[in-house]
Structure 1
Amino acid sequence: VTAMDADEGLNGEIKFSFKKITKQTSQIFQLDSNTAAITLLRSLDFEKGDSYELELQARDGGGLFDTTKVV
Protein backbone atom coordinates (compact mmCIF):
# COMPACT_ATOMS: atom_id res chain seq x y z
CA VAL A 1 0.00 0.00 0.00
CA THR A 2 1.31 3.44 -0.85
CA ALA A 3 0.06 6.96 -0.22
CA MET A 4 1.38 10.35 -1.28
CA ASP A 5 0.77 13.84 0.10
CA ALA A 6 1.94 16.98 -1.70
CA ASP A 7 2.12 18.98 1.55
CA GLU A 8 5.47 19.72 3.14
CA GLY A 9 6.50 19.32 6.76
CA LEU A 10 4.23 17.68 9.32
CA ASN A 11 1.16 17.94 7.08
CA GLY A 12 2.93 15.78 4.50
CA GLU A 13 3.82 12.98 6.91
CA ILE A 14 1.54 9.98 6.49
CA LYS A 15 0.82 7.38 9.16
CA PHE A 16 -0.95 4.12 8.46
CA SER A 17 -3.26 2.13 10.72
CA PHE A 18 -5.84 -0.62 10.59
CA LYS A 19 -9.25 1.03 10.55
CA LYS A 20 -11.26 -1.99 11.58
CA ILE A 21 -9.63 -5.17 12.79
CA THR A 22 -10.82 -8.04 14.92
CA LYS A 23 -8.81 -9.36 17.85
CA GLN A 24 -8.21 -12.61 15.93
CA THR A 25 -6.94 -10.75 12.85
CA SER A 26 -4.70 -8.51 14.97
CA GLN A 27 -2.97 -11.66 16.20
CA ILE A 28 -2.17 -12.63 12.61
CA PHE A 29 -1.22 -9.36 10.88
CA GLN A 30 1.05 -6.49 11.88
CA LEU A 31 1.12 -3.11 10.13
CA ASP A 32 4.13 -0.80 10.06
CA SER A 33 2.62 2.66 10.66
CA ASN A 34 5.38 4.40 8.67
CA THR A 35 5.70 2.18 5.60
CA ALA A 36 2.30 0.38 5.49
CA ALA A 37 4.14 -2.95 5.23
CA ILE A 38 1.88 -5.77 6.38
CA THR A 39 3.63 -8.78 7.90
CA LEU A 40 2.43 -12.07 9.32
CA LEU A 41 2.82 -12.71 13.02
CA ARG A 42 2.12 -16.42 12.53
CA SER A 43 1.29 -18.87 9.78
CA LEU A 44 -2.11 -18.64 8.10
CA ASP A 45 -4.60 -21.43 8.79
CA PHE A 46 -6.57 -21.91 5.57
CA GLU A 47 -8.96 -24.26 7.36
CA LYS A 48 -10.18 -21.27 9.42
CA GLY A 49 -10.35 -18.88 6.47
CA ASP A 50 -9.21 -18.86 2.88
CA SER A 51 -8.99 -15.06 2.63
CA TYR A 52 -8.67 -12.01 4.85
CA GLU A 53 -9.92 -8.50 4.22
CA LEU A 54 -8.14 -5.66 6.02
CA GLU A 55 -9.21 -2.03 6.02
CA LEU A 56 -6.29 0.39 6.19
CA GLN A 57 -6.32 4.11 6.85
CA ALA A 58 -3.70 6.64 5.76
CA ARG A 59 -3.75 9.90 7.74
CA ASP A 60 -1.59 12.97 7.17
CA GLY A 61 -0.39 15.43 9.80
CA GLY A 62 -3.19 17.82 8.93
CA GLY A 63 -5.89 15.33 9.88
CA LEU A 64 -6.94 14.35 6.36
CA PHE A 65 -7.34 10.64 5.73
CA ASP A 66 -8.43 8.01 3.26
CA THR A 67 -9.09 4.29 3.54
CA THR A 68 -8.61 1.24 1.36
CA LYS A 69 -9.26 -2.46 1.59
CA VAL A 70 -6.55 -5.09 1.20
CA VAL A 71 -7.57 -8.67 0.48
Structure 2
Amino acid sequence: VTATDADEGQNGHVKYWFKKITEQASHIFQVDADRGVITVLRSLDFEEGDSYVLEVQAHDGGGLSDSTNVV
Protein backbone atom coordinates (compact mmCIF):
# COMPACT_ATOMS: atom_id res chain seq x y z
CA VAL A 1 0.00 0.00 0.00
CA THR A 2 1.38 3.43 -0.86
CA ALA A 3 0.26 6.87 0.25
CA THR A 4 1.97 10.15 -0.58
CA ASP A 5 1.98 13.49 1.19
CA ALA A 6 3.28 16.73 -0.29
CA ASP A 7 4.23 18.13 3.13
CA GLU A 8 7.88 18.26 4.17
CA GLY A 9 9.48 16.95 7.35
CA GLN A 10 7.50 15.10 10.00
CA ASN A 11 4.14 16.22 8.57
CA GLY A 12 4.97 14.42 5.32
CA HIS A 13 5.94 11.14 6.98
CA VAL A 14 3.21 8.53 6.47
CA LYS A 15 2.58 5.59 8.84
CA TYR A 16 0.39 2.59 8.04
CA TRP A 17 -1.67 0.19 10.14
CA PHE A 18 -4.68 -2.06 9.89
CA LYS A 19 -7.73 0.00 10.75
CA LYS A 20 -10.09 -2.93 10.81
CA ILE A 21 -8.93 -6.56 10.87
CA THR A 22 -10.40 -9.76 12.26
CA GLU A 23 -8.54 -11.62 14.98
CA GLN A 24 -8.01 -14.52 12.57
CA ALA A 25 -6.50 -12.24 9.91
CA SER A 26 -4.26 -10.54 12.50
CA HIS A 27 -2.47 -13.88 12.95
CA ILE A 28 -1.97 -14.20 9.18
CA PHE A 29 -1.08 -10.68 7.98
CA GLN A 30 1.02 -7.78 9.21
CA VAL A 31 1.66 -4.35 7.74
CA ASP A 32 5.00 -2.56 7.98
CA ALA A 33 4.19 0.76 9.66
CA ASP A 34 6.85 2.69 7.73
CA ARG A 35 6.64 1.14 4.26
CA GLY A 36 3.03 -0.08 3.97
CA VAL A 37 4.17 -3.54 2.90
CA ILE A 38 1.70 -6.27 3.83
CA THR A 39 3.33 -9.59 4.73
CA VAL A 40 1.74 -13.03 4.95
CA LEU A 41 2.99 -14.58 8.20
CA ARG A 42 2.05 -18.19 7.45
CA SER A 43 0.66 -20.36 4.69
CA LEU A 44 -2.89 -19.55 3.71
CA ASP A 45 -5.46 -22.27 4.37
CA PHE A 46 -8.31 -21.93 1.88
CA GLU A 47 -10.51 -24.04 4.14
CA GLU A 48 -10.33 -21.19 6.69
CA GLY A 49 -11.21 -18.58 4.10
CA ASP A 50 -10.83 -18.07 0.36
CA SER A 51 -10.37 -14.28 0.62
CA TYR A 52 -9.58 -11.60 3.17
CA VAL A 53 -10.47 -7.91 3.25
CA LEU A 54 -7.90 -5.83 5.11
CA GLU A 55 -8.66 -2.16 5.83
CA VAL A 56 -5.37 -0.27 5.86
CA GLN A 57 -5.13 3.28 7.16
CA ALA A 58 -2.40 5.76 6.23
CA HIS A 59 -1.78 8.58 8.70
CA ASP A 60 0.58 11.52 8.19
CA GLY A 61 2.47 13.50 10.81
CA GLY A 62 0.05 16.40 10.43
CA GLY A 63 -2.91 14.36 11.66
CA LEU A 64 -4.57 13.61 8.30
CA SER A 65 -5.53 10.06 7.42
CA ASP A 66 -7.30 7.98 4.81
CA SER A 67 -7.96 4.28 4.40
CA THR A 68 -8.48 1.70 1.69
CA ASN A 69 -9.47 -1.94 1.48
CA VAL A 70 -7.00 -4.54 0.28
CA VAL A 71 -8.57 -7.80 -0.89
Place the TM-score, normalised by the shorter chain, in its bin: over 0.9
Identical counterparts, % of pairs: 68
Structure 2 regions of 5+ residues with no counterpart? none
Alignment RMSD (CA, Å)? 0.6
Residue in 2 that maps onto 1:19:
19
Residue in 1 that maps onto 2:7:
7
How many positions carry a matched residue from both structures?
Answer: 71
Letter in 1 for 2:14: I
Structure 1 regions of 5+ residues with no counterpart? none
Q: CA offsets per residue over residues 15-44 of structure 1, 9 Å max, x none?
A: 000001111110000110011101111100
TM-score by length of 2: 0.97
Question: Which portions of structure 1, spanning 4 or more consecutive aligned residues, are displaced by more than 4 angstroms?
Answer: none
In 2, Cα distance between the equivalents of 1:16 and 1:22?
17
Residue in 2 that maps onto 1:36:
36
In 2, Cα distance between the equivalents of 1:27 and 1:48?
12
